Amino acid sequence: MSDLISLRNFSFSFPEKEIFTDLELEIPLEGVNLLSGINGSGKSTFCRLLLALQTGYRGGLLFNNRDISSVDTQSLAAEIIYLKQPSSLNLLAATPWLDLVVWASGFGSNQYNRADIDEALDFFDLLSYKDKPVWELSEGQRQGVALAALLLNRQKVWLLDEPAAGLDNIRQKKLKKLILEQGKQKGVLIISHRYDLFADISDNIYEIKDKSILLRK
Ligand SMILES: Nc1ncnc2c1ncn2[C@@H]1O[C@H](COP(=O)(O)OP(=O)(O)OP(=O)(O)O)[C@@H](O)[C@H]1O
Ligand SMILES: [Mg+2]
């Protein structure tokens, strides 16, 4: 059975801005799904609400029929990997290698497979940068490190906020290939204004418009 996001009479506002009003929608996460929308429409806010990093919504927001407000964030993190916007928010350690060690060892154990980390870094051509401080990497390289962590989290649903940010054409193609592969095993939800880039690989396309989320395809 595929993973499922359910919105029931769901509304959310910041003090000075209404973002979502009375949404009634199910978003099955099988295959590749795209949630699009213009700048400021509420895409990143939706990610944060789903991961319980933003509270204060009204109505129901459920992941696999469990209300987000009553699920602990650690158990959500075991099921969903969330690529944040901007890339620097995803970096957990001082170098690409150490960052991926954290992911590969499952946050704390000392057991990890070096070959898995090498393979993940190599996918985004980052092997020669693996011991560089992350603050010396370019924006696209930092995004590459964050994306490499996805390769160590294939058992989870991928929630990707603007995954192509900072990537050149070659890396955008690699990313799309990776997302397609993952969509065959587990659900992916891409959150992006780059409709042009991701529409062709998406099975379902949703759009945030006028404080609502509409199914476009
Ligand atoms: N913590 C906050 N407090 C108040 N308003 C906020 C907060 N975070 C976001 N907003 C506002 O909510 C709206 C939605 O922001 P959000 O970051 O979700 O947009 P987005 O669709 O992800 O945009 P982008 O395409 O630029 O990434 C914006 O108008 C923003 O100014
Ligand atoms: Mg955003």
Extents of the domains making up the chain = 4-215
Residue 165, phi-psi category: left (phi > 0), alpha (psi -120 to 50), beta (remainder)? beta
Atom index in ligand 1 nearest the CA of residue 41 equals 21
pLDDT (0 to 100) of residue 28: 95
Asked whether the beta carbons of 55 and 69 are under 8 A apart, the reply is: yes
Smallest CA separation from ligand 1 atom 17, residue: 44
The best mutation among 18, 45, 160 to test binding of ligand 1, ranked by most ligand atoms within 8 Å of the C-beta, falls on: 45
Tell me the chain's radius of gyration from C-alpha atoms.
17
CATH of domain 4-215: 3.40.50.300
pLDDT (0 to 100) of residue 39: 97
pLDDT (0 to 100) of residue 59: 98
Per-residue pLDDT of the chain (217 residues; tens, 9 = 90+): 789 999 999 999 999 999 999 999 999 999 999 999 999 999 999 999 999 999 999 999 999 999 999 998 889 999 999 999 999 999 999 999 999 999 999 887 788 999 999 999 999 999 999 999 999 999 999 999 999 999 999 999 999 999 999 999 999 999 999 999 999 999 999 999 999 999 999 999 999 999 999 999 9
Atom index in ligand 1 nearest the CA of residue 37 equals 21
Smallest CA separation from ligand 1 atom 1, residue: 14
| 36 Cα: distance to centroid of ligand 1 (angstroms) | 14
Total-model pTM: 0.96
Atom index in ligand 1 nearest the CA of residue 191 equals 22
Q: Which two tokens stand for residue 93?
A: 């350690």
Asked whether the beta carbons of 58 and 11 are under 8 A apart, the reply is: yes
Report the pocket of ligand 1 as residue ranges, CB < 6 Å.
Answer: 14, 17, 19, 37, 39-45, 85, 193
pLDDT (0 to 100) of residue 197: 98
Q: Give the burial string for 72-97 (b: 16+ CB within 10 Å, else e).
A: eeeebeeebbbbbbebeebbeeebbb
